[in-house]
Amino acid sequence: MNLETERLFMRPVTARDAEPLHRLHMDPLVVELIMQGKPLTREESDARLRLYLDEWDRFAYGFWMVYLRQESGDLSFVGRAGLRRYDENDVEVGVCLFGAFSGQGIAGEGLGAAIEFAFRRLPVARLVSVVRPTNIRSQRAMEKLGFTFVGVTKHLGTTFRYYELKRPAPPAFL
């Protein structure tokens, strides 16, 4: 299931994405904001790829590889965005972009497509997002997308700011 926006082409991750994902996981801004200052080894990055592939197999959703459309018609890999199973009740949205593409609205555009997919295809009442307290950019992005800050939580031993976006109410008919 590919997703497209005006500027982006997004496709589900595949086993062939090991090298580009490892490059992404080594990006200095990604390391600082998402990896707690520690770049992933190739083995750790490959383990995350296996997790992403497993989620697509088990749940029929997951992370998409995000490509920015160029004026030439080419596509440039800029990161990944999508959905993950947070726990038995909730689905989480997440995005990870190369630092060179941060601040250009790509995160919001990619997550917007993933959110639309989730509310159209999944029987969820809400989506959640967890953001490190130091990641101000992602906090702002969540708020721009309509997420509400709920509180602080610990997940897998790390403290996060916890956000939720409730499913929009269906339109009322007159």
pLDDT tens sequence across 32-49 = 877 777 889 999 999 999
pLDDT tens sequence across 88-138 = 889 999 999 999 998 899 999 999 999 999 999 999 999 999 998 988 888
Say which residues have a Cβ less than 8 Å from residue 44's Cβ, sequence separation at least 6.
25
Strands 126-131 and 91-97: parallel
Domain ranges of the chain: 3-124
Homologous superfamily of 3-124: Gcn5-related N-acetyltransferase (GNAT) (3.40.630.30)
pLDDT score of 174 more than 70: no
Instruction: Return d(Cα 1, Cα 10) in angstroms, integer.
Output: 9
Tell me the pLDDT band of 168, cut-offs 50, 70 and 90.
Answer: confident
Alpha helices, DSSP H, located in the chain: 18-26, 28-33, 42-59, 106-121, 136-144
C-alpha distances (whole Å) from 63 to each of 53, 56, 93, 173 are 9, 8, 9, 35
Instruction: Return d(Cα 103, Cα 64) in angstroms, integer.
Output: 19
Give the pLDDT score at 45.
Answer: 94
